[in-house]
Chain A
Amino acid sequence: NAGVTQTPKFQVLKTGQSMTLQCAQDMNHNSMYWYRQDPGMGLRLIYYSASEGTTDKGEVPNGYNVSRLNKREFSLRLESAAPSQTSVYFCASSEAFQGNRDQPQHFGDGTRLSIL
């Protein structure tokens, strides 16, 4: 059972280049998330998708776009990469959050992205 799969695992870009990080989950989860993790800081939410067909901004959305292609897939795009976007990116998924009934998030292995 693969869980949450992210590709690629590593990428080096030059400033101004574009790329798309791919994420797919096989747990039939409604909600999917993109986070970035930087040294000395907690995980920060970039965008999330509460259900297929919807996306919302998180804490740090500037410079990113997302697409919820279908229930399984949620991609993150950097249109014009900047050195400040050097980070480790995590995709996660969970069952839909309803009221006070919380759900665990399942994480991919991360994408280590360097922007030169």
Chain B
Amino acid sequence: KNEVEQSPQNLTAQEGEFITINCSYSVGISALHWLQQHPGGGIVSLFMLSSGKKKHGRLIATINIQEKHSSLHITASHPRDSAVYICAVRRQGAQKLVFGQGTRLTINP
């Protein structure tokens, strides 16, 4: 079993819908990252969080440390949000990130 599991693996929605992508992990962590990989391949960091909630524009990330679970929400989704969203965790005391397999999101106009 992977240390970091994302669901769903693929998600297709209509423009304007509220999107939720989930990430569960099985180890103690010091931080969780959400990243976005564009269709062209580039990867950008969206959020780092160790507790609570963060918001940037239409994106919201939450984390529940006790339940070892994080969610990434997109409000008023748009076709330009189509990308692969990747969750990664840093184990407590570790230098390295462990990545989930990614969730491929497609937003249709």
Contacts and interface: CB of A to CB of B under 8 A. Distances in A.
Interface of A: 31, 40-45, 48, 50, 56, 58, 88, 90, 92, 97, 100, 102-107, 109-110, 112
A42 B30 contact: no
Contacts, number: 54
B1 to A, nearest CB: 13
A91 to B, nearest CB: 11
In the A-B complex, the 5 residue pairs with the smallest Cβ-Cβ separation, listed nearest first, are A42-B99, A102-B31, A104-B45, A107-B43, A43-B99
Interface of B: 2, 4, 30-31, 33, 40-45, 48, 50, 86, 88, 90, 95-102
A102 B99 contact: no
Nearest to B96: A45
Prevailing SS type, chain B contact patch: strand
- Specify which of B30, B41, B88, B100 lies most central, judged by the most chain A CB atoms within 10 Å of its CB: B41
A48 B86 contact: no
B30 A102 contact: yes
Nearest to B45: A104
Given A58-B96, A100-B50, A104-B33, A42 B45 contact: no
Contact of A40 (B4, B43, B98, B101): B101
Contact of B95 (A48, A90, A107, A109): A48
B41 A102 contact: no
Given A104-B33, A104-B45, A50 B99 contact: no
Nearest to A106: B45
Contacts of B44: 107
A16 B45 CA distance: 36
Nearest to B44: A107
